[in-house]
Chain A
Amino acid sequence: MSEPNEHAHHIVGPGVYVAILFALLIGTALTVWASFIDLGFWNPIIALAIATSKATLVVLFFMGVKYSSKLTKLTVFAGIFTFLILISMTLSDYISRAWGSW
């Protein structure tokens, strides 16, 4: 009854968790530091890029998606993809409207 996507349960050890913890703490310090420097247009992009890297580390390692089944990986990807549709289509609609001329 071994399906192709069945697998031995992978246990992630404390070493990995400690490394990720430090990466997340450094990321937080970095994003606070960067937010006080005036980079104009780039400020929100850097803040969101660091937040996304931190979130990716949490998803891959703390939530163990890196070691999980293909079904879980597909589910997570589907979630992120649907969320991006929500954001990008809504914003592209609002940004491209001819405000005030209808």
Chain B
Amino acid sequence: MPDNSVTSKGALGATKKADSADNADILHAEHPPYLRHHFNSAEQQADAASFAMWLFLLTEVMFFGGLFTAYLIYRNWYYPAFVAGSHQLNVVWGTTNTFVLILSSFTMAMGVWCAETRRRKGLVLCLMLTFILGLCFLGIKTIEYREKIEMHHVPGFHYSLQSFLDPASNPEVYKEYHDKPLALDMARHTEIYFSLYFLMTGMHAVHMIIGIGILAFMIFRARAGAYTSGHVTFVENFGLYWHFVDIVWIYLFALLYLISRH
């Protein structure tokens, strides 16, 4: 296996300390500067990084999977409460946000392509568009959360059962769905629906905020040309993370907003 790491070890061992710096420069010229010495090749290094990223995403699948399982169980138990709770969500904002997030996934995918084909300006543009679309998503989410706060649909001491005990008191929702009043014990279970709603969309939003933070860092580095000189691992792996967050939203949108709509 005649690879760089073996030769460099032998050469460095035989060289005196004084000129080992010169020697290291020569040896580094034989391979891309980003290749760590414990990898045989740049391909092996990229494969290892991608594998590790997928393992991380598996832990994320199980993390959100637990939340989805909890949602499915409670929905089976307290079905009428979950239908009534779902009717309180604004499907127009939800749909808009789905479009925004899918667009941001597309701009991110294009960003990865720009990095792979060494287009620095294209990469910066794509990352900035992804950044802006991510902020749009959070902005719309904030509008939705504010509606819930105003309606006293945030679980806790100020939670109000009025929309569920007397649906006609909320004419905007009532004229579309004509919900029947729920019995008190079932109406109280709408709080479980909204607990899960805030937990799941909240954890999703935390992932978005982390992603947007990393995007800002990447825009800064991309402008300096960091990802357009052949080493695209960071951009590719961030792309995987961003698409994963998109997938979580695709399911959240279907489960929280859509399946009780008709």
Contact = CB atoms under 8 A, between A and B. Distances in A.
Contact of B98 (A28, A38, A95): A28
A74 to B, nearest CB: 10
A86 B65 contact: yes
Contacts of B69: 86-87, 90-91
B243 A87 contact: no
Contacts of B184: none
B162 interface: no
Interface residues of B, number: 53
A59 B242 CA distance: 11
A72 B62 contact: no
A87 to B, nearest CB: 6
A36 B51 contact: no
B239 to A, nearest CB: 7
Interface in A30-56: 31-32, 35-39, 43-44, 47-48, 50-51, 54-55
A71 B91 contact: no
B223 to A, nearest CB: 22
Interface in A16-39: 17-18, 20-21, 24-25, 28, 31-32, 35-39
B262 A38 contact: yes
A35 B23 CA distance: 67
Contacts of A90: 69, 73
Given A1-B1, A35-B262, A28 B239 contact: no
A94 interface: yes
Interface of B: 1, 3, 40-41, 43-44, 46-47, 50-51, 54-55, 57-58, 61-62, 65-66, 68-69, 72-73, 76, 91, 95, 98-99, 102-103, 105-106, 108-110, 113, 116-117, 239-240, 243-244, 246-247, 250-251, 253-255, 257-259, 261-262
Sorted nearest first, the 5 A-B pairs with minimum C-beta distance are: A35-B258, A51-B254, A35-B261, A79-B58, A38-B262
17 contacts: A1-B3, A1-B44, A9-B46, A14-B110, A31-B258, A35-B257, A39-B262, A47-B254, A48-B255, A51-B250, A61-B109, A78-B58, A79-B61, A83-B61, A90-B69, A91-B73, A95-B76
